[in-house]
A and B are shown apart, each in its own frame.
Chain A
């Protein structure tokens, strides 16, 4: 039994918080009503730390990530509340021009599908040097040199000739390397990666993960790693945040979370994971489906109750708060002690 949760995780506890998110609320205003895709989410990431954001498809991971750079499509999306502090500066208070200065420079993003995330009609060199030309005073020649250097660092062979290549002429792994290079060019303090390996072949996935780990170690960036692959979590993350239906339901150092998940949903994720057939699929071996955001509007109690083996009457009537199960593990569940106890019994 290991739920005493001695943090193996956050190696840089004393570092400054690069990112601090407080009570983030992102809503979609649709004909079906207001969908609370991100509903009061708070977390932070230290420099050099990797935080994994996990949860089933549709739980709000991507919207959280996009909100951080204010990239949620508006309409219909809107950040209606909270604070997003990047090295102490509130991104939500910034003017359009100021947030544009932050994007790609102090905070950069890597997307899931490198083929569609790269512009099909511009060559790689153009799309990469654009970042430098936008955020620095470098000349075209200097930008080119920086781009070549970065392409080498992300393991692209023959970078000179790749500059003239178009995305469709590259392999999937190569494209994702280009995306990573693009994100790292301006040496960001915060790197957000939204399922960077999901669209890739298994063998390529491992290479890209290794590259991301190397780059993180070299740059010391704070990394928010979105994934639904717990294998990726185990390899990359220091801490893990579990989301369910727009809310954080559990947050803990990675070892604590794997050893002793305190939320029934997290427990379900763990049990559904080490299985070859579901490895690349969504995390949904838990019976039932994520409630649609529309259905949540009239929901009083715990959002996980309809699928939860531990659910009680109290659960269905009142939503639990996020509370500390130990000093570095927080959980949104009335019966987390039972959840932990159940694992001891096994």
Chain B
């Protein structure tokens, strides 16, 4: 197990580096000159040239890549054009908001998705299942930003229960309130996916012989379902939750912009707007690394949940 873990962790390094290289070229080859963002509109060409030199953009792209890559290998992600501070600092400053947002979204997605899936599997085509079908359909087809705006309209504008936008850091309670609507926005579609997978997985497992054995032993229905069926249904559900983490990372960009939250998602969007190359590259690299770690955790969970799966 330990040696497997070490091998997997070592294996992630080349993946992260390849992601880094792709990120670099995608960003740097996209049209637009960053220097233009850091000079006044009527600046003379000499002024622009000076800024380009300062940003290192006067070098050929190959030179820039080798230099950047060398720095990355030493753990240095460079300095943000816009923030004038190390990329890592800027990233870490924005990270907590996004992590909290992702955490609450995931809690909502799991706390709603699994029960909805479970209960709709109990009676396929029953009342709960029909309701759940609509819930899932709406969840997977409604765009995040639209749900976000609906929620704001209802709970912030009309009812005034929640802040419409921004991240209020006055105290933890206000900070939490700032994240409620964004977390629901982000969590709902994931809840729908988890519900769908839970239902399918439970229906599959409930047909298995060992569930019949559990019933034949006289076990009560909640024990048959909870202990014998659900335990076996968990594997694909864990897969979906692992994927949900990736989707949350992507979805947070939209939601953070809609709700004006100072997280990684907004930082990406802002950095793209400002052609802040080092920042974009750094975020892509770090996010990729985090998602790879989540995948690794997912894989390890499989072995925890099912004694037949062994890594060695």
Q: Specify which chain B residues have a CB less than 8 angstroms from the CB of A116 in the assembled complex.
A: 208-210
Q: Specify which chain B residues have a CB less than 8 angstroms from the CB of A47 in the assembled complex.
A: none
B218 A119 Cβ-Cβ under 8 A: no
Q: Mark B227-243, 1 if CB is under 8 A from A, else 0.
A: 11001100000000000
Interface residues of A in 75-90 (CB under 8 A from B): none
Q: Mark B216-230, 1 if CB is under 8 A from A, else 0.
A: 111110010001100
B64: CB under 8 A from chain A? no
A119 to B218, CA, bound (A): 15
B227 to chain A, nearest CB (A): 8
A104 B218 Cβ-Cβ under 8 A: yes
A214: CB under 8 A from chain B? no
Interface residues of B in 183-228 (CB under 8 A from A): 207-210, 212-220, 223, 227-228
- Known A-B contacts A121-B231, A121-B307, A168-B308; the reply to A102 vs B210 at CB < 8 A is no
A120 B216 Cβ-Cβ under 8 A: no
Q: Specify which chain A residues have a CB less than 8 angstroms from the CB of B232 in the assembled complex.
A: 119-121
B305: CB under 8 A from chain A? yes
A108: CB under 8 A from chain B? yes
A111 B308 Cβ-Cβ under 8 A: no
Contact of B210 among A69, A73, A109, A119 (CB under 8 A): A119
A146 to B214, CA, bound (A): 19
Q: Specify which chain B residues have a CB less than 8 angstroms from the CB of A113 in the assembled complex.
A: 209
Q: Specify which chain B residues have a CB less than 8 angstroms from the CB of A102 in the assembled complex.
A: 218
A239 to chain B, nearest CB (A): 24
A267: CB under 8 A from chain B? no
Which of A51-59, A130-138, A148-156, A222-230 is near enough to bind chain B? A130-138
A100 B220 Cβ-Cβ under 8 A: yes
Contact of B213 among A105, A117, A166 (CB under 8 A): A117
Query: Total number of A-B contacts with CB less than 8 angstroms?
Result: 75
A243: CB under 8 A from chain B? no
A122 to B232, CA, bound (A): 10
A91 to chain B, nearest CB (A): 12
Q: Specify which chain B residues have a CB less than 8 angstroms from the CB of A130 in the assembled complex.
A: 217, 219
- Known A-B contacts A103-B218, A134-B218; the reply to A119 vs B213 at CB < 8 A is yes
A120 to B217, CA, bound (A): 16
A101 to B208, CA, bound (A): 22
A283: CB under 8 A from chain B? no
A135 to B216, CA, bound (A): 12
A105 to chain B, nearest CB (A): 6
A46 to chain B, nearest CB (A): 23
Q: Specify which chain A residues have a CB less than 8 angstroms from the CB of B49 in the assembled complex.
A: none
B306: CB under 8 A from chain A? yes
A100 to B221, CA, bound (A): 9
Give B residues with C-beta under 8 Å from A: 207-210, 212-220, 223, 227-228, 231-232, 305-308
User: Given contacts A101-B218, A117-B213, could you give 13 more A-B pairs where the C-beta distance is less than 8 Å?
Assistant: A69-B216, A71-B216, A73-B207, A103-B216, A104-B218, A117-B209, A118-B210, A118-B213, A120-B308, A121-B306, A134-B219, A168-B307, A182-B217
30 contacts between A and B (CB under 8 A): A69-B216, A71-B212, A71-B215, A100-B218, A100-B220, A102-B218, A103-B217, A103-B218, A108-B217, A109-B213, A111-B209, A111-B212, A111-B216, A116-B209, A117-B212, A118-B210, A118-B213, A119-B210, A120-B210, A120-B306, A120-B307, A120-B308, A121-B305, A121-B307, A122-B231, A131-B217, A134-B218, A134-B220, A134-B223, A182-B217
Can you list the 7 inter-chain pairs with the closest CB atoms, starting with the nearest? A104-B218, A103-B218, A104-B217, A116-B209, A119-B210, A166-B307, A117-B209
